[in-house]
Amino acid sequence: MRYALVTGGSRGIGRAICCKLAEMGFYVLVNYNSSPDEAAITLNLVKEKGGDGELIKFDVGRQEEVETALGEWQARNEGKAIQILVNNAGIRKDALLMWMKNEEWTDVLQTNLNGFFYTTRFLIKDMLISKFGRIINVVSLSGIKGLPGQANYSAAKAGVIGATKALAQEVAKKNVTVNAVAPGFIQSDMTKDLDENQLKAMIPMNRFGKPEEVAEIVGFLASDKSSYITGAVININGGLYT
Ligand code: NAP
């Protein structure tokens, strides 16, 4: 039995990833922060897929919460190790840089970039010891191309992309792979304020993507089949940017 942690598993893309990993036979730790009811729905879906898992609450951007929650899990589960980590939790707080408030900058960096750091640093030791690991970071087209109104979010996601490439080289010899998946526009709560009908005209596939489509590539990267892929950033954007 392999153990997988999905940060931000309560809703959207994270929920679809939890379901995919459950289908693949992983035990899924569904992390959430502010949506316990949504997280419980995800866990039910995991069980409906014939899988198993549990909820684990922490704010990825708060080092103490991350380390306490994961440390307690390790203490309760001696001999078991989380070998699949999907850093998916993310927020956006868009504003033109000229008008951006300090907290819009720091909140987005704290969740999207520091969250990756605190969670990954805590779990990587077990992966190195067990000589197997899969780290998959959900980044964004915004971190590759840059999007106006998202200097904070673009900076955070670009930061995770740089860290993905650096860490991949640090741990490759120990059979730990580190990759990033960069979605374009995907239907979720994060994009529900956007007008798909208007924006889809820019997308060669003429539609937003679905969380399940992102989950497929994450599932592949979590599997043994992706054993020679590391340090990669894989676009999933309907042809919007290549
Ligand atoms: P979403 O529907 O808004 O869901 C966000 C998830 O992140 C929720 O499960 C939320 O959990 C969790 N989360 C937020 N802050 C957290 C924190 N501090 N600690 C722990 N969990 C936290 O967004 P989504 O579209 O599924 O996005 C998932 C990832 O894909 C994000 O990294 C996002 O940047 C990225 N992405 C999305 C799109 C898109 O078009 N949707 C495109 C590119 C990249 P709670 O509700 O429990 O707090």
Model pLDDT for residues 5-59, shown as the tens digit of each residue: 999 999 999 999 999 999 999 999 999 999 999 999 999 999 999 999 999 999 9
For 196, residues 6+ apart whose C-beta sits below 8 A from its C-beta are: 185, 187, 207, 208
Percent of the chain exceeding pLDDT 70 equals: 100
Compute the mean pLDDT over every residue in the chain, rounded to the nearest whole number: 98
Is 3 assigned a catalytic role? no
CB burial of residue 34 (10 Å; 0-12, 13-18, 19+):
exposed
Q: Is the CB of 13 under 6 A from ligand 1?
A: yes
Which ligand 1 atom is nearest residue 190's CA? 3
- pLDDT-based confidence at residue 155 (cuts at 50, 70, 90): very high
The CA distance from 173 to 188, in Å, is: 37
For 1, residues 6+ apart whose C-beta sits below 8 A from its C-beta are: 25, 26, 27
User: Which residue in 162, 137, 142 sits closest to 152, CA to CA?
Assistant: 142
Q: Is the CB of 190 under 6 A from ligand 1?
A: yes
Ligand 1 center to 173 CA (angstroms): 31
Which ligand 1 atom is nearest residue 35's CA? 47
Ligand 1 center to 8 CA (angstroms): 6
Ligand 1 center to 9 CA (angstroms): 8
CA 165 to chain centre: 16
In sequence order, the β-bridge partners of residue 133 are: 176
- Helix, strand and coil in the chain, % to nearest 5: 50, 20, 30
Q: Is the CB of 183 under 6 A from ligand 1?
A: yes
Contact 131, 83 (CB under 8 A): no
Q: Is the CB of 12 under 6 A from ligand 1?
A: yes
Structure tokens of 175?
């059979």
From 11, 63, 103, the mutation candidate for ligand 1 (largest count of ligand atoms within 8 A of CB) is 11
Structural domain 3-236, CATH architecture: 3-Layer(aba) Sandwich (3.40)
Q: Is the CB of 59 under 6 A from ligand 1?
A: yes
Ligand 1 center to 75 CA (angstroms): 28
- pLDDT for 211 equals 98
CB burial of residue 100 (10 Å; 0-12, 13-18, 19+):
middle
- pLDDT for 149 equals 98
**Radius of gyration over every alpha carbon of the chain, rounded to an integer in angstroms:** 17
For 95, residues 6+ apart whose C-beta sits below 8 A from its C-beta are: 101, 104, 149, 152
Average pLDDT for 61-86? 98
Ligand 1 center to 166 CA (angstroms): 24
Q: What is the pTM of this model?
A: 0.99
